[in-house]
With several copies, the nearest count.
Chain A
Amino acid sequence: MIGDEPLSTDELRRIDRTIRADWPTGEAVDFQEAVAYHESLPRHKRFADVLESADRPLLQPRAGVPLLEDQIDLLEYLRESGEADLLPTTIDSYTRDNEYGKAQEALEAARESGGETLNGFPAVNHGVDGCRALIEAVDGPIEVRHGTPDARLLAAITFAGGFQSFEGGPISYNIPYTKRHDLAKTIEHWQFVDRLAGAYTERGVRINREPFGPLTGTLVPPSIAITVMILEGLLAATQGVRSLTLGYGQVGNVVQDVAALRALRSLGEEYLPNDVCVTTVFHEWMGGFPPDEARASGVISLGGLTAAIGCPDKVITKSPQEFRGVPTMEANAAGLRTTRQIIDMALEQTITIDGIDDEQRLIERETRALLDAVDAHGDGDLVRGIVRAFETGALDVPFAPSESAQGAVLPARDDDGRVRILEFGNLALSEDIKAIHAARLAQRAETEGRERSFRMVADDVDAISDGRLIGRPLGGERRAD
């Protein structure tokens, strides 16, 4: 197994050559020339600079369509009509599977029919020139957002193509996104991505990297998400990344969400090297949405309000059409503006909520315990520690489809709607922390007059889409009518 060491320049070159041979567009990548290209970009397209110098939470949607011209129109629309501060380019699922051939077929079909043959922008197929055409046509900074376990070619092409921000990481784009990818192998692949970002950084082109905080998006206990963020941050820092945006997905309890955002920032700053600029990103509710645009706007607004109190550097917005499928550009822009309105109205007033410090302390204790366990599993090496901790379940993610994780942790909300842990599996938390979770859930079970069971978890999974926060036995009736 590889260790947590910076890839040597030779290794970087060697891998670069290999992966660029995976698809014809790889050939056009030329690092020196790409650095010069980045230097030619105006300041307001430099992702890290724009994000790190912002004075209020910046908004960014998700968006990706197959054709270049459509992607340009979509992003320009989101920037102008949605007032997005930062833009995305979401990559299609074939590319995520490194199936560039299938993506090519679908892209050509799309070119002919204009149809929805791909659920994102196949950046590898568009190649360096296609990416640059996008970067040049859109008047704002753009990030690559994907979900790709092996994103080496995607990174090589998009970095050379002028993108200065890249989402994902070896844990966050493996555990929630795949079944069979080996975690150690994925870490190795991301060492290349991070080292490449590091190489640009050393030449003065600070590529921003953003581990994917929401993980499975479904009732993820904050300490688990934050632990993964710090681990990925550390791995990236080793490879020379200096601009890191750590993420967290809203759970819907304002106190817990604000506490988590603060814990994320404070532990991020504590654990990551001093020369890394740490920013944070808050994802509006990533679980199942209500099948109704009006109700969805309420969920989105609660996210905006939480962001106004928690003050992350960036907010990833949802659209009111989240439930049904990829949103129209109008709905996507609507989600941005709903968020902007409530954030701005709330930012201009002081809203100090009680109980945040206590919750933050609990989250930090848990996170430290998990990080310590990873450390202990590693015998001095972080990569080994991560792989082993997931193997044993000392570190785990609820609803993880990956065979590299136990997926034994089951979350449920307590009586106040905060996400607690019902089944720990082997999660490396001390008995007294476990007792806190158990007590909170016992209290809820009592309120509801039922046993703690998977039924609660299932009810909680549906609660927000059913118009509630907590999956109370009665709340369930609503969906049936």
Chain B
Amino acid sequence: MVLHTMSRTVVLGVIGSDAHVVGITILEQAFRQAGLTVINLGVQSSQTEFAEAATQHDADAVLVSSLYGHAEQDCQGFHETLEAHGVDALTYIGGNLAVGQNDFEETRRTFQELGFDRVFDAETTPEDAIAALERDLRISTTANERATVTT
């Protein structure tokens, strides 16, 4: 099966008042190498900034990063904000999503309920993220395939 060349646009940023920039810097470079168009909002980006960038660049995916432990508070109403801006894109979130030594499955559920299509832990490599994007951004994606790349 031949993969479609990736000429898709993704919006990437760190939400809330989180300043952990290294992860998205690495992701940005890797995504570009993989042929994606990347709009990197940088750290400390607000929900509105994500939504506006997604509208402006007609993004296929909105990728939210959060490391500092306040992701849940910062993402309350995130999908409503996107919707209000008319954004209909895939949404991912990744990083250290909870304060403390939580069970990741619980964390995943929390963020899925908030509306994210995929939830990634801090062990996610850029390759994992690209593999997920490659599958999700194809014209037809079966639910089955989607499940197998969920990390």
A binds B: yes
Provide the residues of chain B in CB contact with A161, threshold 8 Å. none
Complex Cα–Cα for A178 and B20 (A) = 9
What string of 1s and 0s marks CB contacts (under 8 Å) between B76-99 and chain A? 000000000000000000001011
Q: Which of B21-29, B110-118, B134-142, B143-151 lies at the interface with chain A?
A: B21-29
Closest to A400 in B: B21
Does the CB pair B29–A480 fall under 8 Å?
no
Among A118, A180, A331, point to the contact of B44 (Cβ < 8 A): A180
Min CB distance B106 to A, Å, is: 12
Does the CB pair A218–B22 fall under 8 Å?
yes
A227 CB within 8 Å of chain B: no
CB under 8 Å from chain B, chain A span 387-402: 399-401
Provide the residues of chain B in CB contact with A14, threshold 8 Å. none
Main secondary structure of the interface of A (DSSP, over half): loop
Name the residue in A93, A94, A106, A287 with the highest tally of chain B Cβ atoms < 10 Å from its Cβ: A93
Q: How many A-B residue pairs have CB under 8 A?
A: 77
What string of 1s and 0s marks CB contacts (under 8 Å) between A442-464 and chain B? 00000000000010001001100
- A96-B17, A401-B19, A461-B22 given; A454·B29 CB < 8 A: yes
- A178-B44, A324-B101, A325-B100 given; A119·B19 CB < 8 A: no
Complex Cα–Cα for A384 and B74 (A) = 36
B35 CB within 8 Å of chain A: no
Complex Cα–Cα for A96 and B70 (A) = 13
Provide the residues of chain B in CB contact with A327, threshold 8 Å. 101
Among A323, A401, A458, point to the contact of B21 (Cβ < 8 A): A401
CB under 8 Å from chain A, chain B span 35-65: 42-44
Does the CB pair A480–B43 fall under 8 Å?
no
Closest to A92 in B: B70
Complex Cα–Cα for A324 and B126 (A) = 18
Name the residue in A96, A118, A216, A325 with the highest tally of chain B Cβ atoms < 10 Å from its Cβ: A325
Min CB distance B104 to A, Å, is: 9
**B interface residue count range (under 10 / 10 to 19 / 20 to 34 / 35 or more):** 20 to 34
B102 CB within 8 Å of chain A: yes
Provide the residues of chain A in CB contact with B22, threshold 8 Å. 216, 218, 287-288, 399, 461
Min CB distance B121 to A, Å, is: 9
Does the CB pair A325–B29 fall under 8 Å?
no
CB under 8 Å from chain B, chain A span 269-300: 287-288, 291
Complex Cα–Cα for A323 and B22 (A) = 14
Min CB distance A435 to B, Å, is: 26
**A interface residue count range (under 10 / 10 to 19 / 20 to 34 / 35 or more):** 35 or more
What string of 1s and 0s marks CB contacts (under 8 Å) between A170-184 and chain B? 000000111110000
Min CB distance A151 to B, Å, is: 15
Among B16, B100, B125, point to the contact of A480 (Cβ < 8 A): B125
Provide the residues of chain B in CB contact with A324, threshold 8 Å. 96, 101, 122
- A399-B25, A458-B26, A480-B127 given; A177·B70 CB < 8 A: no
B130 CB within 8 Å of chain A: no
Closest to B16 in A: A93
CB under 8 Å from chain B, chain A span 67-94: 93-94
A328 CB within 8 Å of chain B: yes
Min CB distance A423 to B, Å, is: 13
Does the CB pair A325–B43 fall under 8 Å?
no
Does the CB pair A325–B19 fall under 8 Å?
no
Provide the residues of chain A in CB contact with B68, threshold 8 Å. 93, 119
A356 CB within 8 Å of chain B: no
Does the CB pair A176–B19 fall under 8 Å?
yes
Known: A178-B19, A178-B44, A454-B29. 8 other contacts (CB 8 A): A288-B22, A325-B99, A325-B102, A326-B101, A399-B21, A401-B19, A401-B43, A480-B125
List residues of chain B with CB under 8 Å of any chain A CB: 16-19, 21-22, 25-26, 29-30, 42-44, 68-70, 73, 96, 98-102, 122-123, 125-127
List residues of chain A with CB under 8 Å of any chain B CB: 93-94, 96-97, 106, 116-119, 147, 176-180, 216, 218, 287-288, 291, 321, 323-328, 331, 399-401, 454, 458, 461-462, 479-480
Leading 5 A-B pairs by shortest Cβ distance: A401-B21, A116-B99, A119-B69, A401-B43, A179-B44
